[in-house]
A and B are shown apart, each in its own frame.
Chain A
Amino acid sequence: MWRSKAWITLSKASSVPQAKMSLTDQTKMARQLASAQIISALRLRAEGVLIPLGALVAGFIAFSIFLVLLGKSPFEFFSLVWKGGFSSAFSWQNTLSRVAPLVFAALCVALPARLGLVVIGGEGAIVLGGLAAAVAGTALGGLPAVLGMPLMALAGMVLGGLWIGAIGALRIKRGVNETISSLLMAYIAIALFNHFVEGPFRDPASLNKPSTAPLADSLRVGDMPFIAAHWGVLAGVIACILCWVLIDRTTVGFAARIAGDNVRAAQIQGLPVAKLVIGFTALGGAFAGLAGYFEVAAVHGSANASLIAGYGYTGILVAFLARHNPLAILPVAILLGGIEASGGLIQRRMELPDATILVFEGMVFIIILLSEALYGKLGIFKTNAGGTR
């Protein structure tokens, strides 16, 4: 999608010199050419939007069949999703509270994906980022918020970045499959998190639920004005825009796209493929760490087992539905945040187990992966873009 935008500017630029020629035929031809290019650009763009959307709808249908087989009403399910996720200020608050971690977790998938890496262990970076932020927050208790908050966020980002960056480094230096290593390292991260929260950094006052010491009020992140959501949502929006700018508007992003599409071509161009891979995975990890920071500083007030909420895994679905486009991540995160937010309501009203949402997400994910095979194959999106043979 982000590509087709450049097409339009390109086609405009290339039609200008021809249009200057006063002969009407040539002007007409140039216009036809330009409009053909715009149409083919729009088709490419439409393909990028409609196929994931179609997959989502197919996922809804497949899940509805599943519900019918269970003897439940799909209509009730979807109306409850609407009610629990989007219908009122309260449900929007519930939804938006999930958007920030989902956006960051999705960026942790989407950024490495642009280099051809499938990283699915963002959960590890989230919990470790949260732990680092909480520990930093405890240690920095006396500092004013102006210094303390950025330092906490930085602690989370650094640890998250190191964690996922290590996966990129293992891939590029040792050829370790990043999908498997990131998944396994997520388990290690969670085990480390539990060890530290229940051991060295445990607040003696936390009896039932082992936690780190509660953050000072001055270090807690509050809600934004007028919107019932904490500042992490805005940070997520800004992060998405920055990532889009990085990929679409900078030379670094361009080099990363070359390496992601064909690593051999990137090597022959002498592009620093290793640095790009490690850099993009580390940046993704840093965003996941930031998700952990906001969960600790804005939601839980300390690091505890509530941090292991599966955002890292839902983020994978968000990134794939968004086709790893940072700007598309935001609406998709809102949609999935809303569906997850309605989970409690669905559980109570329909007497369905809370894993039902996971079944739904799994179905959508499989259909999304199947739909990847459709790109470039559907007649309606076919363009005559190719050169003559």
Chain B
Amino acid sequence: MKYEHDNGAISVEALNMTMKFGAFTALDEVSISIPAGSFHALLGENGAGKSTLVKCMMGFYHATDGELLVAGKQARMTDPKVAQTLGLGMVYQHFTLVPSLTAAENLVISRTDTPALIDWRRERTALDAFMAKMPFSVPLDQPVSRLAAGEKQKLEILKQLYLGNRFLILDEPTSVLTPSEADEVLGHVRALTRAGEITVLMITHKFREVSAFADDVSILRRGKYVGGGAVADLSIDEMSRAMMGEAPVVSERTRKGTQGQPLMTLHGLRTADRTGLKDIQIDDVTLHSGEILGIAGISGNGQMELMEILTGQRRIRSGTITVNGTAYGATRAEARAHAIRYLPEEPLRNACAPRMSVAENLAFRMFDIGKDGTHVFWKDNRAIAGNATTLIDAFKVKTSSPAAPIASLSGGNVQRAVLGRELTGDVKALIVSNPCFGLDFAAVSAIRDRLIEARNQGTAILLISEDLDEIMELSDRILVMSEGRIAFETPIATADVAQIGQHMAGHG
């Protein structure tokens, strides 16, 4: 290809980068230097300025002040196209591939110089030659929608290399991957940096990935550079203290109380999965009070459907759900009578009305009951406002006003707001799905604390999660879901990650 920077990794250096949005300083004189061929991690909480920094580097934002040196030369990132011609590329947290096209088609159309008439034979030869040089490959002829998440992420990285980019910014590249997929992808990325092919700047929340893969780390907090250096010289404790400031880092979560009575029983559930081709078959699952029952599994093995069954969004063909011995159909009256609450994944998309206000969203559980617990017809705006003030305070939801649309809040704040709403009152059961997806370290920690606290008070928690670390950390008992069935069950005391992993992958 015809890019000038085709001769391997390039270095990037940011000098005194400052970015102001009105009166708010998102980035305050941050300088970081990333030598060619290194693997650099960028740590920080949500709102620490990581995204702002890389957006300035990529030309999506124009820095208020500061300089950027690319391969030692001063660069003015006036728009993202400049970054592309200089060899800077970005892999986003969520995929930017066209699902219905094949990997080969996705690669070819991503180029800016794709001709109107594509000579596929020539392109295929070129692609095969390109792939032969790469340390890893993906199937080129399958529609991207059929690829697993790990393969899609590998394709995203290949796409950047194919475009000739030699400095890659990876924005939480493993948030949608299983641990083994993450290790594989990052291992390949690291090998590419070692070979001097690319330089990598990775935004992450996971210390494990930093210590396992990165050479250097920079830590931001509230827009300022607060520490960094060679990963080998830093302990996880030092890194997390720099990232969190004075706040307590890891709270010791103590488990109290014992498993209580069976609360919810699923028996012989049968329904079609989202493709309509396969069946979801849940034969026998019992959830007890005071336990966290973790359901592990690789994304797309029926967890989403299970959540939809439990929330009443998906009809079952046969089988029963009973709560306290009576049939349960997830109506509002039943959920209220049994005090069952839900925390679906991506709460803004699944549990909020995005255009309604924070106060209104916080009122979803209480707006239709009066003080005496009966259904009321007239909406009580004062009660809704009071409820909002209490919850915003108790769950530390950062919002400029209860009247702001909930869509304007950051992910962690939306999650805290929804958790606050769902955990008010005497909650007997909480059905949770991927509660920490895409949240920063502090938010994850706070939310896990809340779950353990609820469990200790006797709430039954069904935790569906694709994050095995989370399952291992929180669960009292673990079920593994694979191909729409419960493939494996183990108490936490005897849980073995390797064994669980095998069942997740369908090798029982």
Q: Contact at A387–B409, with CB atoms within 8 Å?
A: yes
Residues of the B chain whose Cβ atoms lie less than 8 Å from the Cβ of A11? 401-403
B408 pairs with A387, CB closer than 8 A: yes
Q: Is B131 an interface residue when CB atoms closer than 8 A count as contact?
A: no
User: B344 contacts the other chain (Cβ, under 8 Å)?
Assistant: yes
> Which residue from B46, B47, B367, B386 sits with its C-beta under 8 Å from A13?
B386
Taking the closest CB of chain B, its distance from the CB of A371, in whole angstroms, is: 17
| Pairwise interchain contact B313-A264, C-beta atoms closer than 8 A | yes
Stretch at the interface among B75-83, B224-232, B353-361, B484-492: B353-361
Which of chain A's residues 191-227 have a Cβ closer than 8 Å to chain B?
A: none
How distant is the Cα of A256 from the Cα of B153 in the complex, in angstroms?
40
Given contacts A11-B401, A253-B379, A387-B404, contact A268 B354 (CB under 8 A): no
Contacts of B352 in A (CB 8 A): 262, 265
Complex Cα distance, B25 from A51, in Å, reads 32
A228 at the interface (CB under 8 A from B): no
A258-B364, A261-B354, A387-B398 given; A268·B313 CB < 8 A:
yes
Q: What distance in Å separates the Cβ of A374 from its nearest Cβ neighbour in chain B?
A: 15
The interface-forming segment of B197-205, B331-339, B451-459 is B331-339
Cβ-based interface call for A88 (8 A): no
- Residues from chain B with Cβ under 8 Å of A10 in the complex: 357, 359, 381, 385, 388, 401-403
Would you call B505 an interface residue if the criterion is a C-beta within 8 Å of the partner chain's C-beta atoms?
Answer: no
Interface size class of B (residues with CB under 8 A): 35 or more
Chain B: minimal CB distance from A38 (Å): 9
Residue on A nearest B222 in the bound complex, by CB: A388
The distance in angstroms between the C-alpha atoms of A37 and B364, with both chains bound, is 22
Which of B353, B379, B401: most chain A CB closer than 10 A?
A: B401
Within 8 A of B (CB), among A359-389: 383-389
**Range for the number of chain A residues in contact with chain B:** 35 or more
Min CB gap B204→A, angstroms: 18
Give CA–CA (A72, B397) in the complex, Å: 60
Assembly CA distance A254 to B389 (angstroms): 19
Smallest Cβ distance from B306 to chain A, in angstroms?
Answer: 14
- B332 in contact with A269 (CB, 8 Å): yes
Complex: chain B residue closest to A385, CB-CB: B404
Question: With an 8 A cutoff between CB atoms, is A87 at the interface?
Answer: no
One of A244-252, A333-341, A346-354 contacting the partner: A244-252
Q: Do residues B404 and A270 form an inter-chain contact, with CB atoms below 8 A?
A: no
Q: Is A145 an interface residue (CB 8 A)?
A: no
- Known contacts A37-B401, A262-B354; is-contact A270 B335 (Cβ 8 Å): yes
A40 interface hit (Cβ, 8 Å): yes
Within 260-288 of A, Cβ neighbours of B (below 8 Å) are at 261-262, 264-272
Interface residues of B in 23-50 (CB under 8 A from A): 24, 46-47
Q: Whole-angstrom distance from the CB of B145 to the nearest CB of chain A?
A: 22
Q: State A125–B382 Cα separation when bound (angstroms).
A: 39
Contacts of B98 in A (CB 8 A): none
The answer to whether A388 and B381 have CB atoms under 8 Å apart is no
Please tell me if the beta carbons of A251 and B385 are within 8 angstroms of each other in the complex. Answer: no
Asked if A7 and B398 sit within 8 Å, CB to CB, the answer is: no
Given contacts A11-B403, A14-B389, contact A270 B331 (CB under 8 A): yes
Instruction: Give the docked Cα–Cα distance between A140 and B457 (Å).
Output: 66
Contact B312 A267 (CB under 8 A): yes
Contact B385 A385 (CB under 8 A): no
CB-contacts of B284-329 with A (<8 A): 311-313
Determine which residue in B313, B335, B353 has the highest number of CB atoms from chain A within 10 A of its CB, and name it.
B353
Tell whether, in the assembled complex, residue B356 and residue A386 are in contact, meaning their CB atoms are under 8 Å apart. no
Say whether, besides A270-B332, A387-B408, A265 and B413 are in contact (CB < 8 Å): no
Residues of A within 8 A of B143 (CB): none
Inter-subunit contact A388/B385 (CB<8 Å): no
Report if B399 contacts A (CB, 8 A). Answer: yes
A40 close to B401 (CB less than 8 A)? yes
On whether the beta carbons of A262 and B353 are closer than 8 Å, the reply is yes
Give the complex CA separation of A250 and B349 in angstroms. Answer: 25
A305 interfacial contact with B, CB 8 Å: no
A255 at the interface (CB under 8 A from B): yes
The 8 Å CB contact of B353, one of A36, A258, A389, is: A258
**Which of the residues A249, A385, A389 comes within 8 Å of B410, measured between beta carbons?**
A389
Which A residues touch B336, using CB under 8 A? 270
Measured in the bound complex, the distance between the Cα atoms of B364 and A265 in whole Å is: 9
Instruction: Please give, as numbers and ranges, the residues of chain B lying within 8 Å of A180 by CB-CB distance.
Output: none
A1-29 at interface with B (beta carbon < 8 Å)? 3-4, 6-7, 9-11, 13-14
C-alpha gap A383/B404 in the complex (Å)? 9
B334 touches A14 (CB 8 A): no
Are B402's CB and A387's CB within 8 A? Answer: no
**B334: nearest residue on chain A (CB-CB)?**
A270
- B400→A385 contact, CB < 8 A: yes
Q: Is A290 an interface residue (CB 8 A)?
A: no
B409 near A386 (CB under 8 angstroms)?
Answer: yes
Interchain nearest-CB distance for A240 vs B (Å): 19
Q: Provide the residues of chain A in CB contact with B330, threshold 8 Å.
A: 270
For A36, what are the chain B residues with a Cβ–Cβ distance below 8 Å?
A: 400-401
A257 at the interface (CB under 8 A from B): yes
With A13-B386, A267-B312 in contact, do A386 and B353 touch (Cβ < 8 Å)?
no
Residues of B within 8 A of A268 (CB): 311-313, 342, 344, 350-351
Q: Does A41 contact B (CB under 8 A)?
A: yes
Pair B357/A7 contact, Cβ less than 8 Å: yes
The one of B24, B349, B408 that contacts A385, using a Cβ cutoff of 8 Å = B408
Q: A251-B368, A251-B379, A255-B368 are in contact. Are A385 and B351 (CB under 8 A)?
A: no
Q: Give Cα A148 to B355, complex, Å.
A: 45
B405 proximal to A (CB < 8 A): yes
Question: Which residues 393-426 of B have a CB within 8 angstroms of A?
Answer: 397-405, 408-410, 413
A106 to B107 CA separation, bound complex (whole angstroms)? 49
Nearest CB in chain B: distance from A194 CB, A: 41
A8 to chain B, nearest CB (A): 8
A265 touches B351 (CB 8 A): yes
Contact indicator per residue, chain A 153-165, by CB within 8 Å of chain B (1) or not (0):
0000000000000
B376 is an interface residue with CB less than 8 A from chain A: yes
- Please name all residues of chain B whose beta carbon is closer than 8 Å to the beta carbon of A7 when the two chains form the complex: 357, 401, 403
25 A-B Cβ contacts within 8 A?
Answer: A3-B356, A7-B357, A9-B385, A13-B385, A13-B386, A13-B389, A36-B400, A40-B400, A40-B404, A253-B379, A254-B368, A261-B355, A264-B349, A265-B351, A266-B353, A267-B313, A270-B334, A272-B332, A384-B400, A385-B400, A387-B400, A387-B409, A389-B46, A389-B47, A389-B410
B contact set with A: CB distance below 8 Å: 22, 24, 46-47, 311-313, 330-336, 342, 344, 349-357, 359-360, 363-365, 367-368, 375-379, 381-382, 385-386, 388-389, 397-405, 408-410, 413
On A, residues with C-beta under 8 Å from B are 3-4, 6-7, 9-11, 13-14, 33, 36-37, 40-41, 248-255, 257-258, 261-262, 264-272, 383-389
